[in-house]
């Protein structure tokens, strides 16, 4: 038993917890696996950084294995079919960009948006996780900051050339993230996380990343709320 962010008592053995966890656990296992695929794609698009990107990709594969262990520890089977559906639009957007050499779009999707989403999710999960999953998630989130940093550094170095492409990619991708958050809201609530604090942390991290690569405060304010409606926040 543990106390959640939203005030309820969490029973890791209850049917409600385990049912929600099967989808959340599926999402993180599949999300980490797709992050691995994305880094391998990026390694082929950026041959000068191939060794580094492959190294980051392998970290994602380890994250996926670590989250599998979290499911096993609670004797929960991850719902991977649900998870593939959950990521389908984002995956499609990444693959379309990768096959048309839109490197900045790929980096925005994997290097900024997905990493900020993961950091927000994991930091919100840590205080409400079971002891086993907490230790694992703490180690995982430390790696995600490195992944976010790779995207920031490359995009900052190419900012003038990629600014317009990033604005376009942002317009395309953020609505998908709000839809995904809405879709996970109930299950996240059942394991003790609040959607509002997920959104707040995601927006903070993503705004900071956009500022780091060169966008002005004005640009950022316009970009980060794209597609976010009153019912979402
Ligand atoms: C990047 O390294 C991996 C991307 C994984 C994406 C995870 C997004 C998770 C959103 C679901 C919120 C619940 C989180 C619970 C954490 C175990
Ligand atoms: Fe990861
Ligand atoms: Fe990552």
Please list every protein residue whose CB sits less than 6 Å from any atom of ligand 1: 24, 27-28, 31-32, 35, 60, 63, 114-115, 117-118, 121-122, 125, 144, 147, 184, 188
List all residues 6 or more positions away from 99 whose beta carbon is below 8 Å from its beta carbon: none
Buried/exposed 53-66: b ≥16 CB within 10 Å, e otherwise: beebbebbbebbeb
Q: Which ligand is nearest to the CA of 65?
A: 2
pTM for this predicted structure: 0.95
pLDDT at 230 over 70: no
What are the distances in angstroms from CA 101 to CA 42, 58, 95, 168? 10, 22, 10, 15
pLDDT at 45 over 90: yes
| Sign of the C-alpha dihedral computed for residues 197, 85, 39 and 158 taken in this order | negative
Instruction: Provide the pLDDT for residue 8.
Output: 73
The H or E element that residue 139 is part of is helix 131-157
What are the distances in angstroms from CA 145 to CA 58, 59, 70, 115, 131? 15, 12, 21, 8, 22
Strands (E), 125-168: none
Distance 62 CA to ligand 2 centre (A): 8
Ligand 2 being an ion, which residues bring their Cβ within 5 A of it? 32, 60, 63
pLDDT at 156 over 90: yes
3-state SS class at 230: coil
Of 28, 29, 33, 80, best ligand 1 pocket probe by most atoms within 8 Å of the beta carbon: 28
pLDDT at 211 over 70: yes
3-state SS class at 195: helix
What are the backbone angles phi and psi of residue 3, rounded to the nearest 5°? -95, 135
Provide mean pLDDT across the span 207-231.
Answer: 90
Other Cβ atoms within 10 Å of 127 Cβ, number: 13
Distance 159 CA to ligand 1 centre (A): 28
User: Which pLDDT tens digit goes with each residue over 50-64?
Assistant: 999 999 999 999 999
Residue 129 alpha carbon, nearest atom of ligand 1: 17
User: Which pLDDT tens digit goes with each residue over 63-117?
Assistant: 999 999 999 999 999 999 999 999 999 999 999 999 999 999 999 999 999 999 9
Residues in the chain: 233
The H or E element that residue 10 is part of is strand 9-10
Provide mean pLDDT across the span 31-42.
Answer: 98
Distance 27 CA to ligand 1 centre (A): 6
């Amino acid at each position: 038993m543990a106390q959640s962010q939203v005030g309820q008592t969490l029973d890791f053995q209850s049917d409600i917890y385990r049912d929600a966890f099967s989808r959340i656990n599926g999402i993180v296992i599949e999300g980490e696996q797709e992050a691995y695929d994305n880094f391998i794609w990026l390694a082929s698009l950026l041959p000068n950084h191939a060794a580094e990107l492959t190294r980051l990709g392998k970290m994602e594969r380890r994250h996926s294995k670590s989250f599998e262990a979290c499911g096993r520890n609670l004797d929960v089977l991850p719902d991977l079919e649900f998870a593939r559906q959950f990521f389908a639009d984002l995956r499609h957007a990444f693959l379309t960009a990768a096959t048309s050499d839109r490197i900045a779009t790929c980096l925005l999707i994997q290097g900024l948006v997905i990493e900020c989403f993961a950091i927000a999710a994991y930091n919100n999960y840590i205080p409400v996780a079971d002891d086993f999953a907490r230790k694992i998630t703490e180690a995982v989130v430390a790696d995600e900051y490195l992944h976010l940093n790779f995207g920031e550094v490359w995009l900052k170095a190419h900012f003038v050339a990629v600014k317009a492409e990033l604005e376009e990619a942002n317009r395309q991708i953020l609505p998908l993230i709000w839809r995904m958050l809405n879709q996970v809201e109930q299950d996240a609530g059942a394991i003790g996380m609040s959607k509002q604090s997920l959104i707040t942390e995601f927006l903070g991290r993503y705004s900071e990343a956009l500022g780091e690569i060169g966008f002005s405060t004005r640009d950022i304010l316009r970009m980060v709320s794209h597609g976010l409606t009153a019912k979402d926040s």
